[in-house]
Structure 1
Amino acid sequence: MTTTPMSADEYKARTARSHKLLLWFAMMSMTMMFAGITSAFVVSKSREDWMKDFQLPSAFYFSTLSIILCSICIHLAKKAIHKDNRSATTRFLLLTLVLGIAFVFLQFVGFNQIVEEGYYFTGPESNIATTFLYVIAVVHLAHLAGGLISLLVIIYNHSKQKYNSGQPTGIELGAIYWHFLDFLWVCLFLFLYFFK
Structure 2
Amino acid sequence: MATTTMSADEHKDRTARSKKLLLWFAMASMTMMFAGITSAFVVSKSREDWMQDFQMPSAFYFSTLAIILCSVTFHLAKKAIEKDNRSATGNFLLLTLGLGIAFVVLQFQGFEQLIKQGYYFTGPESNIATTFLYVIAVVHLAHLAGGMISLLIIIYNHFKQKYNSSQLLGIELGAMYWHFLDFLWICLFLFLYFFK
TM-score (normalised: structure 2): 0.99
Partner Cα distance (1:170, 1:144) in 2: 17
Q: Which residue of structure 2 lines up, in the alignment, with residue 37 of structure 1?
A: 37
- The C-alpha deviation readout for 1:25-57, integer Å capped at 9, x for no partner, is 000000000000000000000011111121110
- Alignment identity in percent? 84
Give the superposed CA RMSD.
0.6
Residue 7 (structure 1) shift? 1.4
Q: Partner amino acid for 1:140?
A: H
Q: Which residue of structure 2 lines up, in the alignment, with residue 176 of structure 1?
A: 176
Partner Cα distance (1:176, 1:53) in 2: 35
Partner Cα distance (2:154, 2:53) in 1: 43
Counterpart check, 1:86 vs 2:58: no
For residues 101-112 of structure 1, the aligned pairs below 5 Å read 101-112=101-112
Partner Cα distance (1:78, 1:3) in 2: 37
Partner Cα distance (1:12, 1:154) in 2: 18
Q: Partner amino acid for 1:138?
A: V
Q: Partner amino acid for 1:3?
A: T
Counterpart check, 1:160 vs 2:160: yes
Gaps of 5+ in 1: none
Gaps of 5+ in 2: none
Residue 127 (structure 1) shift? 1.2
Partner Cα distance (2:150, 2:110) in 1: 25
Moved over 3 A (4+): none
Partner Cα distance (1:12, 1:3) in 2: 19
- The C-alpha deviation readout for 1:54-112, integer Å capped at 9, x for no partner, is 11100000000000000000000010111111001001000100000100000000000
Partner Cα distance (2:127, 2:6) in 1: 59
Partner Cα distance (1:15, 1:119) in 2: 48
Q: Which residue of structure 2 lines up, in the alignment, with residue 74 of structure 1?
A: 74
Partner Cα distance (2:36, 2:158) in 1: 37
For residues 11-30 of structure 1, the aligned pairs below 5 Å read 11-30=11-30
Q: Partner amino acid for 1:91?
A: N
* 2:51 partner SS: coil
For residues 45-60 of structure 1, the aligned pairs below 5 Å read 45-60=45-60
Residue 3 (structure 1) shift? 1.9
Residue 4 (structure 1) shift? 2.5
TM-score (normalised: structure 1): 0.99
Q: Greater CA deviation, 25-34 or 118-127?
A: 118-127
Partner Cα distance (2:174, 2:127) in 1: 37
Number of aligned positions between the proteins: 196
